[in-house]
Amino acid sequence: MTIILAILLPFLVAACIPFVYRRFTNLHIGWPVLAVPVILFGLLATYIPRIAKGETYTYTVEWIPSFHINFTTYLDGLSMILGLLITGVGSLVILYSIFYLSTKESLHHFYCYLLLFMGAMLGVVLSDNLMVLYAFWELTSVSSFLLIAFWHHRKASRAGARKAMTITVIGGVAMLAGFLLLYAIGGTFSVRVLISQTDILHKHSLFVPAMLLVLLGAFTKSAQFPFHIWLPDAMEAPTPVSAYLHSATMVKAGIYLVARTTPIFGGHELWFWAVSLIGLFTLFWGSFNAVKQFDLKALLAYSTVSQLGLIMCLLGLGSAALRLGYSTESVIYTQATFAALFHLINHSTFKGALFMMVGIVDHEVGTRDIRRLGGLVALMPFTFTIAVIGSFSMAGLPPFNGFLSKEMFFAATLHITELNIFSLEAFGLLFPIVAWVASVLTFVYCMIIVARTFLGKIKPERLEKPPHEAPFGMLISPFILIVLVIGIFLFPNVLGHYILQPAMASIYPDFPSSEELTPHIHAWHGINTELLMTVGVIVLGVILYRTLKKWRPIYRLIPEQYTLNALYERVITTSENTSGSITKRYMNGNLSYYFLYIYIIFVGVVAGYFLLSDAFSWAPSKDSSIEYYELILVLVMIFASVALLFAKGRITSVLLNGVLGYSVAFFFVIFRAPDLALTQLVVESVTTALFLISFKFLPALKPEKAPRAIVYSKALVSILVGATVTLIGLTVMNYEEFSAISVYFENAYELAGGKNIVNAILGDFRAFDTMLEVVVLFIAGLGVYTLIKLKAKKGDADIENK
C-alpha cells in the first residue's frame, strides 16, 4: 500500500499547486515541492536492505478485474534502481531549478508538470500490470510534452515538443499492441505471471510480433536509431527538464522496459540481434554526430543518444545467457547485463551534472555556442570542475565511475566473441570494434566540452553577459552528482551488493544465485585487453581532437536533405498538406453533403454486411396483425414525409414535420408507452414553437435549383437509408441467435426493487450512464463559461509567428 501512495503523492501535490501557489509570496514554491521527491527517496531507501536480501513487495488494488486489469505495484531490485533515480535525481533537479528559473516564469505550471512526470515515471517502473504500465507510459509522453514546450512562446520549443510526442506516442501505441498480443498468448497482463510462462510464450506464433511491437515502444522512448531524432530537438526545454527527462528518467523508460521483459523475450535470437545491434549502431551514430555539434546542449543530447545505445547493446548481449541456461560458464555472459545496470546509474550521475553545468554556462554567460566560448576556467572554476569530472567520467577515464562501467562494456563485447550461438562466430567481432570506435569519438566530444568551453582565450565581445561563477545554490546539485561520480568509483561494490545484485535477480529469475551474477568490481585488473583498448581510445582520441579541423569536413558528405530529420519534416509536411487537401474536398460547408457522406457509409457498411453475411431474416407469419387505425397512421406519416420534400414555405414544412412527430406520439400511445408519448408530445410542441419563433429572424426563403443528378442521388440515398433501417428492424424482430436483453430487465423488482420496469431502467440500471451524461453537460458548461470569460493576453496572437 505504501508503494501505491508513493505513486499517487506527486499527482496529489500537483493537483494542489494551482490552488495554493499564490499563497507562497515569501517562499519559493519550489521548496515545498522539493519535499515530495525527498520524502519518496527516503521511503524507497528504507526498502534497500530488505530488497538486497531478495525480498519483493506486491500490492494489488482491483480496478477492472473482469478484464484482468488491476492496479498492482511490484517493488524489486530492478524497479528499485529506477525508483531511486527518479526521486533522487528529481530532488536535485528541483533544487537546481529553484535557483535556475526566474520567479517571473510560470513556476506553478512548471512544478505541476514536473510532478506529473515524476508520478508517471514511478507508475511505469512500479507497475506489474501491463495495461497500467501503458497508461503511465503515455502519461510520461504527455507530461514531457508540457515540459519541453514550457517556453511555448518559442517556435523551436513547440516544434521539439510535438516531435517528441509524435514519435514516442506512436511507439507507445505499438507497444500497447504488443501487450495485447502477450495477453492473447498468456491470458494475463501480469509481468510476473508472463515471466513464469516463457516456455509457452516462445512456442506461440504471436510471440515474435509481440516482441517487435514491444521493442518499437522501447526504442522510441529511449531514442534508439532511427527514432533518436526527437531527443536533440527536445533540448529546447529548460535545462532542469533536460537534466531530469533526458539523462535520468524518461529516456531510461525504454531501457527499463527492455530489462523488465528480458526474462520473457531474452534467449530468442531475434531479440538478441535486434537489441544489441540497434544499441550498437545507436552508440556509434550518437557519438559520431555529437562531435560536429556547436551547441553544448545539442552535443549532450547526441551523447545521451550514444550512451543509451551503449546500455541497450549491453542488455542485448546479456540476454544471450538466457539462451545458454544456467551454468558456471554462462554466468560470465550475464556480466553484460550487470554492466548495463551499472552504467545506467553512472550515466545518470555524470550526465545530470553535465546538463546542469551547461545550464550554468548558459545562465551566467548567455550562450551555449562553443564557437563563442573559451577561457572560462579562471572565471568559473567550480563549473569547470563539474565539467572535467562529468566529461572524463563519460569518456571512461579513471578515477571516475564511468571508467568502471566502460571497462565492463569492453569486457562484455570481447566475451561475446567467444560464443558459438546466433552466428556470433562470424559476426561477433563487430561488437568490440564498433564499441572501440564509438568510445574514441566519445573521448573526442568530451574533450570538446572541456577544452572549447573553459580553456584557451576568453572572448568577451562574443558573450551576451559578463562571465562569472554561478551562485552557490545552483552549484549544490551538480556537486552532489560529481561527488557520487567519484564515490561510486571508490566504493563500487556497495552499489553492487545493495542495488545491482537484486536487480540481476529480477532479470535472471531462473538463475539460482544472484551473488554469483554480481561480479566484484575492481578499478585495476592488471594489463589486459580492456585496458589496452582504453589506452588506444585516449591516444587516438587526442590525435583526432588535435586534428579536428582537418577531418571535420567529413560531415558535409551527408547532404542535409537526406538526413532523418529532413525525412521526418517531409513526411509531416506531406501528411499535413495531403490531409488538408482531402479535407477541403469534402468539408465544403454544405450540411446536406455531410449528411450524404454519413448516410452513404451507413448504407454501405450496415446493408452491405446484412447482404454479404446472409443475416437478413424476416418471418411475417410470426408478426402480430396490423389494425386499420395503425395502417391509417402509417399512411398519414408517409403522406407527411413525401409532402415535406415538396413544401415551398417554412410554415408548411414546420406543420408537416409536426404531423410526423405527433403521429409517432400516437404510436407510443397505441403501444402502451404513455411516458414516451408524453415526452414526444412535449418535445414536438416545444420544437414546433421554437421553429415558428425563429422565423422572425430568418431571411426570406429562396429555393435553390439543384441539378437533377444531385436531386436524384439524394433521393436514392434517402430510399436506401430507409430500406436499411427497415431491414434492420425486420431482422432484429426475428433474430433468435441470442436471448433478448429485455429478459434481464424483467427481473426489475428483484434486482432493483422497482415494480415499474421503465422507472427501474432509468433510475437504477442506467444511473451511472445518466451520471456521466450530467458530467458531460457540466464539462460543456464549464467550457462555454471559460470561453466567455477568457480574455486573450496581449501578444498571444503573435506567438505562432515567432
Q: What is the pLDDT of residues 34-45, one digit of tens each?
A: 999 999 999 999
CA atoms within 13 A on the CB side of 16: 13
Q: How far apart are CA 207 and CA 199, in angstroms?
A: 11
pLDDT at position 619: 66
- Conformational region of residue 520, where left means phi above 0, alpha means psi within -120 to 50, and beta covers everything else: beta
Is residue 513, in this structure, part of any structural domain at all? yes
User: What's the N-to-C CA distance of the chain in angstroms?
Assistant: 48
The range of the structural domain enclosing residue 379 comes to 266-546
What are the C-alpha distances in Å from 249 to residues 90, 307, 476, 535, 796?
A: 9, 14, 20, 32, 33
Contact 364, 467 (CB under 8 A): yes
Residue 700 in any domain: the answer is no
For the stretch 562-609, pLDDT in tens is: 888 888 888 888 888 898 888 888 887 778 888 888 999 999 898 888
**pLDDT at 802 (0 to 100):** 47
Largest Cα separation within the chain, whole Å, is 106
Classify residue 409: in a domain, yes or no: yes
Which one-letter amino acid corresponds to residue 559? P
Q: Cα dist. 679→273, 661, 666, 670, 758 in Å?
A: 67, 11, 12, 15, 14
> How many H-runs (helices) and E-runs (strands) does the chain carry?
38, 2
Classify burial at 479, counting beta carbons within 10 Å of its beta carbon; exposed 0-12, middle 13-18, buried 19 or more. middle
Q: Does 171 fall in a domain? A: no
Question: What is the predicted pLDDT for the residue at 801?
Answer: 47
pLDDT at 420: 85
Q: Are 350 and 402 in contact (CB under 8 A)?
A: yes
Q: One-letter amino acid identity for 523?
A: A
Alpha-carbon separation of residue 123 from 14, 120, 194, 788 (angstroms) = 15, 5, 19, 37
Please tell me the pTM assigned to this model.
Answer: 0.83
Q: Is residue 218 part of a domain?
A: no
Sign of the C-alpha dihedral, residues 594, 595, 596, 599? positive
- On whether the CB atoms of residues 513 and 502 are closer than 8 A, the answer is no
CA dist., res. 105 & res. 210, Å (int) = 44
Number of domains in the chain: 1
Beta bridge partners of 58: 74
**Do residues 43 and 6 lie in contact, with contact meaning Cβ atoms separated by under 8 Å?**
yes
> What pLDDT shows up at residue 759?
76
C-alpha cell at 500: 545491482
Is residue 298 one of the residues assigned to a domain?
A: yes
* 8 falls within a domain: no
Residues of the chain with pLDDT under 70: 514, 615-623, 700-704, 734-738, 765, 791-802
Q: Is residue 625 part of a domain?
A: no
